[in-house]
Amino acid sequence: MSSERIVVLAHEKFPDEAKTALGVMRYGDQTIEAVLDRDRAGDRVADHDASLPDAPIVDSFEEALAAAEGGVDALYIGIAPIGGGFDETWRDDVRAAIAAGCDVVSGLHYFLNEDEEFVELAAEHGVELRDVRKPPEDLGVATGHSADVDADVVLTVGTDCSVGKMTASLEIVEAARERGIDAAFVPTGQTGIMIAGWGNPIDRVISDFTAGAVEDLILEKGDEHDLLVVEGQGTIIHPAYSAVTCGILHGSMADGLVLCHAAGREAIHGYESFELPPFSDYVDLYEDLAEPVHETEVVAGAVNTKDVDDDDEAASIVDAFGEEVDVPAADPVRHGADRIVDGIVDGVLEE
Amino acid sequence: MSSERIVVLAHEKFPDEAKTALGVMRYGDQTIEAVLDRDRAGDRVADHDASLPDAPIVDSFEEALAAAEGGVDALYIGIAPIGGGFDETWRDDVRAAIAAGCDVVSGLHYFLNEDEEFVELAAEHGVELRDVRKPPEDLGVATGHSADVDADVVLTVGTDCSVGKMTASLEIVEAARERGIDAAFVPTGQTGIMIAGWGNPIDRVISDFTAGAVEDLILEKGDEHDLLVVEGQGTIIHPAYSAVTCGILHGSMADGLVLCHAAGREAIHGYESFELPPFSDYVDLYEDLAEPVHETEVVAGAVNTKDVDDDDEAASIVDAFGEEVDVPAADPVRHGADRIVDGIVDGVLEE
């Protein structure tokens, strides 16, 4: 299967506020034909971030199409305004993409499939509108059989939201593959789904089906690989989102957990009156809560040190985390995920 | 406000398999004009269960209407087939109720508001179709402010599904009121909502809004009462439903928990390979998981002994449970909820 040739919409936000765009560009196997950002048109991606695949930055989808020699297969919406709405200044680009026979992929709360104009245009041009935040309609309750698959299952769990669980999961899969382990990423959120091209947006399913929606993913891929790395969501102590975390913990029936943390975080993001407890409390909570459904343990740690400039300081933060949790730890972006995979091999694959 | 005069549909299931009908009849403040059960037409409710308000059992809504001297305000669907579908043999009764100007109240998965014939008829006759399992559309994420209300909040939590959490909650409210405590029931499931006439069906909301949907209920009533008793759902160790339980635990920010158990239950209902852990493990799990959001403790126990015939045996099961959990315990149906309220007074109201 040849790689999908895509244009990534990131108007006025590239690169720093275009989290979804960066995720797809960094981890997806799509070919990036162009980035749309009207504020940076004329630049190249490499001017802003040399670690990303290079591509031109242009003003509009039509320019992107003109520049792409081999054609374009899809337009990806790579940014999300607060609230997840559709920014009407993007309408011309989406229209042009559909008219050019391209699919449009979106993780917005606003569903392209409920936009009358886009639906009509898409039907006319025979393209697909892929709203990755819209759960499939055939979900049901978990049966409790995730542990029956051939693969070992590892789940990234967090001390908070937005600590880098998706990134850690993707880096673990890459590092494991480099070591010859047949590993696969199991996406549970919109960016992960856009990167991988499959998955269930667990935070949008009916609460009774939370574990079931994860189980579906495990059963779908669990006999095709040796290791599944499930993207976790939220944190088990979140005042608003813990239900999602709990459903993923029990639905995945993980054999091992990777505890993820963002260096410097001391309170729940956006809920600052809720302080983070000691790391060892998280270990006990996740392990004790998982045990009656499927015994598991924290086997590694991933610390996101992107806000720490000094390399030595970052390394010592990671070391301190690893000592406190008593597992191998790394910042998977800064240091690579090799030490994390060590923990997974020792704690899960060779158990 | 005068009591709603209702007819309860329970065809072929009354009383033993009509759980919703029994709940509404036992705990609701509606006036029961008749029960529909074509298999028992001609009997009276008292012939089957003398503890329920007596009423005639009739064959059809039209007969019920003819028998009701003061008229009828609403038809309640008091049974649910496996899967929660609508049984077409009920259509004539629903039609007749609407035509007679009655609201229809249903907790089925099948929404009356999506049935074209009922929607048209209801519009024509100016009546309301109340699908209590359909969540409101304006739900959002929790803000973490449930603990700010004036009332103390108690949540019933379970060792499993279907152990009597709703019944325990309702009995606690009754017993507390008899003692002069201004207590209110907070319903989170369809039967509870039908009984109380308000509430959110937490198991049907989008998983991200689980805690938020509970918080909405607490904020709505929390300044009007001294004690809120929140109906729990599922169990925190359920392979399929734990997400709902976790969201209610954190969303309610309960000041005290009542641990509910069904005597004789040794494995998760319908998931028999998952054994129940010791009661003390539940206490630790619920308390430890709640703590980072809002500290709480198990202050009483409710043991459902309906499957135990012998009174002495039931009493000793309850005593053993109370000793193991180290709280006052009772079967709230068999013994009344007074001892449970003792635990709530000592552990929550007088703290």
Distance from CA of B15 to the nearest CA of A (A): 28
pLDDT at B70: 86
Distance of CA A266 to the CA centre of its chain: 23
Would you tell me which residues 148-187 of chain B have a C-beta closer than 8 angstroms to some C-beta of chain A? none
For the segment B11-21, what is each residue's pLDDT rounded down to a tens digit? 999 999 999 99
Gap between the Cα atoms of A130 and A297, Å rounded? 36
Listed in sequence order, the residues at least 6 apart from B41 whose beta carbon sits closer than 8 Å to its beta carbon are B57, B58, B59, B63
Mean pLDDT, chain B, whole residue set: 97
Rounded distance between C-alpha atoms, residue B337 and residue B206, angstroms: 34
Domain A5-131 shares a fold with domain A146-349: yes
Interface check for B204 against chain A (CB to CB < 8 A): the answer is yes
Q: What parts of chain A have a pLDDT lower than 70?
A: 1
List the one residue out of B84, B270, B240, B246 whose CA is nearest residue B163: B270
CA separation, residue B305 to residues B160, B162, B260, B261 (Å): 14, 13, 11, 9
pLDDT tens-digit series, residues B311-347: 999 999 999 999 999 999 999 999 999 999 999 999 9
- Report, in angstroms and rounded to the nearest whole number, the Rg of chain A calculated over CA atoms: 20
Chain B residues with CB inside 8 Å of A275's CB?
292
Nearest to A274 among B237, B285, B293 (CB): B293
- Cβ atoms of A226 and A182 within 8 Å: the answer is yes
Structural domain spans, chain B: 5-131, 146-349
CA distances from B258 to A270, B254, B255 (A): 31, 10, 10
Residues B146-349, CATH architecture = 3-Layer(aba) Sandwich (3.40)
What superfamily in CATH does domain B5-131 come from?
A: NAD(P)-binding Rossmann-like Domain (3.40.50.720)
Distance from CA of B72 to the nearest CA of A (A): 35
CB atoms A236 and B289 under 8 Å: yes
Estimate the crossing angle of helix A242-252 against helix A210-221, to 10 degrees.
40
pLDDT of B1 higher than 70? no
Largest CA distance in chain A: 59
Classify burial at B136, counting beta carbons within 10 Å of its beta carbon; exposed 0-12, middle 13-18, buried 19 or more.
exposed
Chain B residues with beta carbon closer than 8 angstroms to that of A273: 144
The string over B253-284, giving b where at least 16 C-beta atoms fall within 10 Å of a residue's C-beta and e elsewhere, is bbbbbbbbbbbebeebeebeebebeebeebbe
pLDDT tens-digit map of A7-65: 999 999 999 999 999 999 999 999 999 999 999 999 999 999 999 999 999 999 999 99
Interface predicted TM-score (ipTM) of this complex, two decimals = 0.95
Residue B138: burial class (beta carbons within 10 Å; 0-12, 13-18, 19+): exposed
The answer, for B270 touching chain A at a CB cutoff of 8 Å, is no
Q: Is B242 on the interface with A (CB under 8 A)?
A: yes
